[in-house]
Structure formats: structure tokens, C-alpha cells
Amino acid sequence: MKILHTLPREDGFRMPAEFERHRGCFLIWPERADSWANGGYAARRAFTNVIKAIARSEKVIVLASFAQYENARVSLPPEVKVVEMSTDDAWARDITPTFVKNDKGELRGIDWGFNAWGGLYDGLYFPWDRDNKAAKKMCDLLDVDCYDQQSFILEGGSIHSDGEGTVMVTESCLLSGGRNPQMTKEEITRHLCDTLGAEKVLWLPYGIYLDETNEHVDNVCAFTAPGEVVLAWTDNESDPQYPMSKADLDYLQSVTDAKGRKLKVHLLPLPSPITVDEEDCDALDPMDGEPTRVPGDRLAASYVNFYISNGAVVMPAFGDPNDNKAAAILAGLFPTREIIQIPARDILIGGGNIHCITGQIPE
């Protein structure tokens, strides 16, 4: 593996869309007791269901700590590769390298700086050094060269690409004080284009209400095809999410993508608000003597947080009437892929969902 100090765009590399073909997918075996209830037992069951669903159509690599390696190995099917690697938590989306490719099909990774979604300004845990070192190790594991972008703070969940020159982000996340406050919006736009091989960045105003990542785009809006997106939506005008999604919709209807196309926006209904109860909170270890959840906390639940595998769309289910409605909408948008719903509340307790725990490796 070579460490590269050039810019991917200069080398002819671009970020593919998630709906393009994959070589495989990374996940991380959960165990952190202040993130995952009861030391991760329920989360590991949910992760296992996600892993099995993805493994039906592409290779899955699961990273596990020394303490959990044997548990992961015996819990997962033999076709799933399990590799011992140190991380601070299990959010693969945000610490996996962003993979870029060129017209010859060559693959490289980008190693962004990771500071647990805001560092000492408003980050979610400390330290985060093992997470910050994981991307290079993953590139080494795959034998692909790696662009050093450690000076720029970015998480995989904060960017979406259509594979044709358009990247989508949220202002609430990328302009937050804990990311790159020394840079202007215009400078960040330019840097994203240079590193992701893009021509245009779409800046949605908001993400999902109370999303602890400063509102990652992958929880509110996702490309389903060139020129088409799904947007998390509620018709309840008294819900705090309504003005946020409405502002995003107004923005998306006012812009074009890098190819000059008006975007076709499909509204994906949100589940009813999901909150944590006392039992959930009692099952979580405190962090630095403080609880990580308190009863009544609203979780950032969204059906947009799905993963597109080679053969399926693996999406969360919440036991909500909108589970079936959301699945039907995605089935219409992905007619060649199976829609697989995974009960995901035990992942949501950790703060994210299925897209957040996965990181695709393009073919």
C-alpha cells in the first residue's frame, strides 16, 4: 500500500454511487457498552442479521477486537471474513475509507481525519485514535493505495455521491464547529470536488432532528439513481422534523445536479417518533460518569438509512405502520433488488442505523 499525497481528481479518480457494483462491504462487530445495550448482545444479533442479508450478494468483511474475535467468528457464516482490528466503536460508515476509482477500474481509498463527530467541540466520545487509524489498515487489508486526507475532518455518512459528478451533504454537519471551522463553505465545496472527483456539491440545509452526528446526509436523503433521491418526510406539521424536511425539499426542487438535471424527489415516510425508556437507559454503561441516554430521548429513526448491496436493499424496520409503506416505495425504486427489512431498534439505540454500520467497497 502506498500513501498518496496528491488529490484523487488530479489522478482521474471519482467516488462511485452506492448503487454501482460492489466488491464487498465492511462492518465492525459491536461491543462498546456505553453505545450498545447490555454490552452489545442485542446489537450483535441485529448486526448478524444485516451481515447475513448483505452476504447473500457480496463479500462481507467484519472487523472485530481481540476480545470479540472468536465470538464474531462462531456467530457469522463461514463465507463472511472476520479480521481482528482495533476500533473505538462499530460505525463502519464513518471510519471506513471513502473508495474512489478511475475509468480503468482501479480502486483507491481516502483516509479522512476522524474526530468522533466533532472532537473536543461536540464529539460523542474520547479518545477516537483507534477509529482514526482504521482506514489505512483497511486499505492495507485490501491492498489498495490510500490518499492521506487526515487534515480534513469528514465521515462517510456525511456524503452521498451519484457517481456522475454530484455529491450531496448537509450544511448542519459540514459547517459545524467541530469539523473544519477554519474553512469556508466555498473552500469545503472545492475540496470535496477535488477529493471525490465531483463537479457539484448539493448543500441540503438539514438532516434528521436530534441526529447526534450534526445531521448526516445519509439519514435524511440518498441517491437511488442518477437524478433521483429519496428524502425522509413527515406530513405532521407539528413535528420538529417537518420544517427541516420541508426546507430540504424546497432546496432539492430548486437545484440541478452536475449533469444539469432537475432532481426527482421521492418522499420516504418517517416512522412515528421512537424514544428510549428507562429499561433502555439502564442497559447502557455511563460515559465519564454521565448517562449516554435518558428516558424520553428521541432517536433519529429514518428509513433512508438503508444499504444498497449488489442484490438487495437492506433497510431498517421499526415495528411501525410505515415499515411496509417505506419498503414498497424502495421496491419501486429498486426493481432489480430484493427489499430486506431488518428489525433495527437495537442498532438505533446506538445512535445510527444500517447505513451507518456499513461501508461499501466498490468493484
Task: Output the domain CATH number for residue 170.
Answer: 3.75.10.10
Domain that holds residue 234: 3-362
- For the residues 291-319, what does the mean pLDDT come to? 97
Name every residue whose Cβ is closer than 8 Å to that of residue 15 and which is 6 or more positions away in sequence.
Answer: 98, 99, 100, 159, 161, 163, 167, 196, 197, 198
266 pLDDT exceeds 90? yes
Burial of 274 (0-12, 13-18, 19+ CB in 10 A): middle
pLDDT tens, position by position, 209-236: 999 999 999 999 999 999 999 999 999 9
What pLDDT, on a 0 to 100 scale, did the predictor assign at position 290? 87
Burial of 285 (0-12, 13-18, 19+ CB in 10 A): middle
Q: Are 142 and 108 in contact (CB under 8 A)?
A: no
Cα 271 from Cα 305, distance rounded (Å): 12
Cα 117 from Cα 125, distance rounded (Å): 9
- For the residues 108-120, what does the mean pLDDT come to? 98
Reduced to 3 states, what is the DSSP secondary structure of residue 202? Answer: strand
- Helix (H) or strand (E) holding 344, with range, is none
Cα 114 from Cα 156, distance rounded (Å): 10
289 pLDDT exceeds 90? no
14 pLDDT exceeds 90? yes
288 pLDDT exceeds 90? no
pLDDT band for 243, please (50, 70, 90 cuts): very high
Reduced to 3 states, what is the DSSP secondary structure of residue 38? Answer: helix
Q: Which residues are catalytic?
A: 356
Task: Output the pTM of the full model.
Answer: 0.97
Total domains in the chain come to 1
Q: Is the peptide bond before 127 cis (omega within 30 degrees of 0)?
A: yes
Across 9-106, the runs of DSSP E, i.e. the strands, are 22-28, 59-64, 81-84, 98-101
> What amino acid occupies position 90?
A
Cα 19 from Cα 16, distance rounded (Å): 8
Closest to 303 measured CA to CA, from 318, 289, 282, 283: 318
- For the residues 142-147, what does the mean pLDDT come to? 98
What pLDDT, on a 0 to 100 scale, did the predictor assign at position 312? 98
- For the residues 330-335, what does the mean pLDDT come to? 98
